[in-house]
Amino acid sequence: MNQMVSVSKRVALVLSVAFLMISTFVFGVGQASAETFTVKMGADSGMLKFDPSKVEVKPGDVVKFVNNKLPPHNAVFDKAKSPDAAVAVKLSHKALLQKLGESFEVAFTDDMPAGVYSYYCEPHRGAGMNAEIVLKK
Protein backbone atom coordinates (compact mmCIF):
# COMPACT_ATOMS: atom_id res chain seq x y z
CA MET A 1 0.00 0.00 0.00
CA ASN A 2 2.82 2.41 0.88
CA GLN A 3 4.49 1.54 -2.39
CA MET A 4 1.33 2.46 -4.31
CA VAL A 5 1.07 5.83 -2.53
CA SER A 6 4.71 6.51 -3.37
CA VAL A 7 4.12 5.74 -7.06
CA SER A 8 1.02 7.95 -7.09
CA LYS A 9 2.99 10.83 -5.59
CA ARG A 10 5.73 10.41 -8.19
CA VAL A 11 3.23 10.37 -11.04
CA ALA A 12 1.53 13.48 -9.64
CA LEU A 13 4.89 15.23 -9.32
CA VAL A 14 5.91 14.35 -12.89
CA LEU A 15 2.54 15.50 -14.26
CA SER A 16 2.75 18.77 -12.30
CA VAL A 17 6.24 19.51 -13.62
CA ALA A 18 5.16 18.66 -17.18
CA PHE A 19 2.12 20.93 -16.86
CA LEU A 20 4.26 23.82 -15.60
CA MET A 21 6.76 23.39 -18.42
CA ILE A 22 4.05 23.28 -21.08
CA SER A 23 2.24 26.29 -19.57
CA THR A 24 5.45 28.29 -19.48
CA PHE A 25 6.15 27.47 -23.12
CA VAL A 26 2.62 28.18 -24.36
CA PHE A 27 2.05 31.41 -22.43
CA GLY A 28 5.62 32.66 -22.27
CA VAL A 29 6.61 32.33 -25.93
CA GLY A 30 4.00 34.76 -27.28
CA GLN A 31 4.99 37.49 -24.89
CA ALA A 32 8.70 36.97 -25.31
CA SER A 33 8.49 37.12 -29.10
CA ALA A 34 6.48 40.37 -29.25
CA GLU A 35 8.46 43.27 -30.66
CA THR A 36 8.29 47.04 -30.50
CA PHE A 37 8.94 48.88 -33.76
CA THR A 38 9.79 52.58 -33.80
CA VAL A 39 8.46 54.89 -36.51
CA LYS A 40 9.92 58.38 -36.68
CA MET A 41 7.48 61.14 -37.54
CA GLY A 42 9.64 63.39 -39.68
CA ALA A 43 12.80 61.84 -41.14
CA ASP A 44 16.29 62.62 -39.86
CA SER A 45 16.92 64.30 -43.23
CA GLY A 46 14.15 66.80 -42.47
CA MET A 47 11.66 65.33 -44.94
CA LEU A 48 7.98 65.22 -44.04
CA LYS A 49 7.59 61.45 -43.94
CA PHE A 50 7.24 58.50 -41.63
CA ASP A 51 10.47 56.55 -41.31
CA PRO A 52 10.26 53.69 -42.07
CA SER A 53 7.31 54.06 -44.41
CA LYS A 54 6.37 50.38 -44.13
CA VAL A 55 6.46 48.14 -41.06
CA GLU A 56 5.47 44.47 -40.89
CA VAL A 57 4.05 43.33 -37.55
CA LYS A 58 2.36 40.32 -36.03
CA PRO A 59 -0.24 40.10 -33.26
CA GLY A 60 1.29 41.19 -29.96
CA ASP A 61 3.66 43.68 -31.56
CA VAL A 62 3.65 47.39 -30.74
CA VAL A 63 4.49 50.33 -32.99
CA LYS A 64 5.92 53.36 -31.21
CA PHE A 65 5.55 56.66 -33.05
CA VAL A 66 8.16 59.27 -32.09
CA ASN A 67 7.97 62.96 -32.96
CA ASN A 68 11.35 63.38 -34.67
CA LYS A 69 11.42 66.43 -36.98
CA LEU A 70 9.21 69.30 -38.15
CA PRO A 71 6.26 68.93 -35.74
CA PRO A 72 3.36 68.87 -35.20
CA HIS A 73 2.52 65.29 -36.20
CA ASN A 74 -0.08 62.62 -35.57
CA ALA A 75 -1.00 59.27 -37.11
CA VAL A 76 -4.52 58.75 -38.40
CA PHE A 77 -5.34 55.33 -39.83
CA ASP A 78 -7.38 55.56 -43.02
CA LYS A 79 -10.73 53.80 -42.55
CA ALA A 80 -11.09 53.32 -46.32
CA LYS A 81 -7.60 51.82 -46.73
CA SER A 82 -7.57 49.41 -43.80
CA PRO A 83 -9.03 45.92 -43.39
CA ASP A 84 -11.46 47.12 -40.70
CA ALA A 85 -12.74 50.70 -40.30
CA ALA A 86 -13.44 50.29 -36.57
CA VAL A 87 -9.89 49.04 -35.96
CA ALA A 88 -8.51 51.97 -37.97
CA VAL A 89 -10.37 54.38 -35.69
CA LYS A 90 -9.11 52.54 -32.60
CA LEU A 91 -5.48 52.68 -33.79
CA SER A 92 -5.61 56.37 -34.75
CA HIS A 93 -3.90 59.00 -32.62
CA LYS A 94 -5.50 62.27 -33.71
CA ALA A 95 -3.93 64.45 -31.01
CA LEU A 96 -1.02 66.43 -32.42
CA LEU A 97 2.39 65.92 -30.87
CA GLN A 98 4.05 69.32 -30.60
CA LYS A 99 7.38 68.62 -28.92
CA LEU A 100 10.32 66.69 -30.32
CA GLY A 101 10.70 63.33 -28.61
CA GLU A 102 7.02 62.99 -27.69
CA SER A 103 5.61 59.58 -28.53
CA PHE A 104 2.63 57.27 -28.44
CA GLU A 105 2.19 53.55 -29.06
CA VAL A 106 -0.34 51.39 -30.88
CA ALA A 107 -0.68 47.68 -30.21
CA PHE A 108 -1.74 45.04 -32.71
CA THR A 109 -3.81 42.21 -31.24
CA ASP A 110 -5.06 38.77 -32.27
CA ASP A 111 -8.60 40.02 -32.85
CA MET A 112 -7.51 42.50 -35.56
CA PRO A 113 -7.81 41.28 -39.15
CA ALA A 114 -4.59 40.77 -41.07
CA GLY A 115 -3.80 43.17 -43.88
CA VAL A 116 -2.41 46.58 -44.77
CA TYR A 117 -3.27 49.45 -42.42
CA SER A 118 -2.59 52.77 -44.17
CA TYR A 119 -2.12 55.91 -42.11
CA TYR A 120 -1.18 59.55 -42.57
CA CYS A 121 -0.25 62.71 -40.67
CA GLU A 122 -3.23 65.09 -40.84
CA PRO A 123 -1.26 68.36 -41.03
CA HIS A 124 1.14 66.98 -43.65
CA ARG A 125 -1.06 64.62 -45.66
CA GLY A 126 -0.94 66.97 -48.65
CA ALA A 127 2.86 66.80 -48.56
CA GLY A 128 2.65 63.01 -48.91
CA MET A 129 3.28 62.08 -45.27
CA ASN A 130 1.67 58.66 -45.27
CA ALA A 131 2.79 55.10 -44.62
CA GLU A 132 1.52 51.63 -43.85
CA ILE A 133 1.69 48.86 -41.32
CA VAL A 134 1.19 45.31 -42.54
CA LEU A 135 -0.34 42.98 -39.96
CA LYS A 136 0.61 39.38 -40.72
CA LYS A 137 -0.81 36.34 -38.98
Residues at the binding site for Cu cation are: 73, 121, 124, 129
- Catalytic site residue 4? no
Judge whether 129 counts as a catalytic residue.
Answer: yes
Which residue out of 1, 21, 112, 124 is catalytically annotated? 124
Say which of 1, 4, 112, 129 is annotated catalytic.
129
* DSSP-derived secondary structure for the chain: -HHHHHHHHHHHHHHHHHHHHHHHHHHHHHHHH--EEEEEES-TTS-SSEESSEEEE-TT-EEEEEE-SSS-EEEEE-GGGSS-HHHHHHH-EEEEE-STT-EEEEE--TTSPPEEEEEE-GGGGGGT-EEEEEE--
> Of the listed 41, 47, 93, 121, which one is catalytic?
121
Catalytic-role residue among 1, 21, 73, 112: 73
d(C-alpha 76, C-alpha 83), whole Å: 14
Cα separation, 37 vs 68, in Å, equals 15
Is residue 121 annotated as part of the catalytic site, yes or no? yes
Provide the annotated active-site residues.
73, 121, 124, 129
